[in-house]
Homo-oligomer: A and B are copies of this chain.
Amino acid sequence: MANLDHTHDPALRCFVPGADGHADFPIQNLPLGMFSPRDGAPRAGVAIGDHILDLPALLAAGLVSGEAARAVEAAGPGLNGLLALGAGPRRALRLRLSELLREGSPERGRVEPLLHAAAACDLHLPARIGDYTDFYVGIHHAENIGRLFRPDTPLLPNYKHVPIGYHGRASSIRPSGMPVRRPSGQTKPAEAAAPVFGPSRRLDYELELGIWIGPGNDLGEPVSIGAASSHIAGFCLLNDWSARDIQAWEYQPLGPFLAKNFATTISPWIITPEALAPFRIAQPPRPDGDPAPLPYLADEADQREGAFDLALEVLLATPGLRAAGRPPFPVARSNTRHMYWTVAQLVAHHTCGGCNLQPGDLLGSGTISGPDLESCGSLVEATRGGRQPIRLPSGEERLFLEDGDEVILRAWGRRAGFAAIGFGECRARVVGGGP
């Protein structure tokens, strides 16, 4: 497996209390983000256990140099400049951070004062997002959704040839923790003669992997499939909130619009390709009879290790569960291996006509559902189109989201011989719409 080095050693210990064995952020992870200490200005940071290390302060203290320093210098006000530098400086920074935070680090005394308790910090979007594109690579999701509309032919003829995608709204992307207001919009109840305007009654989540673009390409200069990975700077979780009733009425013929653009929530830490190297897997073989990808989407290395084995989870916290003192309830478990296309294929496809990607652009994978009801990445799938409710331990039932419900997405890489790492939470609560 490519790109493994001593920063992945599961025996590494960190001097920051609680970092070793941390569910998300042990020393083998080292994700990048933008944070503010209380009453402080936003700045670049790295998550370590339940703390955040201040990167500009690290630079000011003379604790990083060379390529690693170049990475920190390029960061801020968002991480766009750092993402633009590509893998070299990002890896150099990772190597240095791994040394500095290690148990026995000679610099421990100088590093410790630069740590902030994460609970006392605000997390921001890690970069200015120029353009946001959402794909549709969860083939089980596409089949589940398609079946609701076309029982006999759930997948359209283009699905296995084209990594289907569409442009989303960048301005309404928010980091984990910001509430999401239930949107109003036009819907047309089946029995009604004309549409009505009002709050969505079929509000849903979508479990997605987010992909952060690094260097990017010039307009008119496609990125080849072989070079595509070098343009990916990291990953996050993404909740593509969807109002199914608005979507059903508006989406023909140009696709979803207001049904999606009222909010998108992402986890605030950029999990780097370096951190995820141990969890790379071969692209799962296509079912017999499926077409081979066209040459512009085919690459041997990508086939060998272009996919990921990451466990995904959706948890729901409802008013009833909270009142009963119960924890968030897991409503779905899935895995990134259910993506029909690799992230490199998404980049190659997105640019094959010349479209330019820019540092800090964000791609969504589309909903990553598994093959069964327990692995559905959205409620409309898990409830079979809003017909079979999900039952919660509080006695509550859900077809779609109610005001006060909180959706939490999680992801982990776990593999024998490696430290487990996580993405951190992608969490947001639904609040009632306007008057």
Which A residues form the contact surface with B (CB < 8 A)?
Answer: 130-131, 133, 136, 146, 156, 158, 161-162, 164-172, 174, 181, 183-186, 188, 194-197, 200, 219-220, 222, 243, 246, 249-258, 261-263, 291, 294-296, 349-350, 352-358, 361, 433-434
Contacts and interface: CB of A to CB of B under 8 A. Distances in A.
Q: How many copies does the complex hold?
A: 2
A298 to B, nearest CB: 11
B296 A197 contact: yes
Given A169-B167, A219-B172, A294-B197, A183 B249 contact: no
Contacts of A357: 171
Contact of A165 (B156, B162, B254, B352): B254
A194 B186 CA distance: 38
A300 B168 CA distance: 32
Most buried by B among A131, A146, A434: A131
Contacts of A349: 258
A353 B171 contact: no
B194 A257 contact: no
A194 B162 CA distance: 11
A354 B263 contact: yes
B255 A166 contact: yes
Contact of A158 (B249, B263, B356): B249
B353 A184 contact: yes
A353 B255 contact: no
11 contacts: A130-B171, A158-B249, A166-B166, A172-B354, A186-B294, A197-B294, A197-B296, A255-B256, A258-B355, A261-B353, A263-B354
A167 B168 contact: yes
B171 A355 contact: yes
Contacts of A256: 166, 254-255
Given A136-B254, A171-B358, A246-B353, 17 more contacts: A131-B169, A131-B171, A161-B186, A162-B195, A166-B255, A169-B355, A171-B356, A171-B357, A181-B220, A184-B353, A184-B354, A220-B262, A220-B434, A243-B353, A255-B255, A258-B353, A262-B354
Given A186-B162, A255-B166, A361 B294 contact: no
Nearest to A357: B171
Q: Which 5 A/B pairs are nearest by Cβ-Cβ distance? A: A255-B255, A183-B353, A167-B167, A166-B254, A181-B220
A320 to B, nearest CB: 25
A221 to B, nearest CB: 8
Nearest to A149: B253
A258 B197 CA distance: 32
Contacts of A171: 130-131, 219, 355-358, 361
Contact of A181 (B162, B197, B354): B354
A194 B195 CA distance: 39
B219 A257 contact: no
A246 B161 CA distance: 13
Interface centre among A158, A184, A256, A296 (most CB of B within 10 A): A158
A412 B132 CA distance: 35
Contacts of A167: 166-169, 257, 261
B184 A352 contact: yes
B353 A262 contact: yes
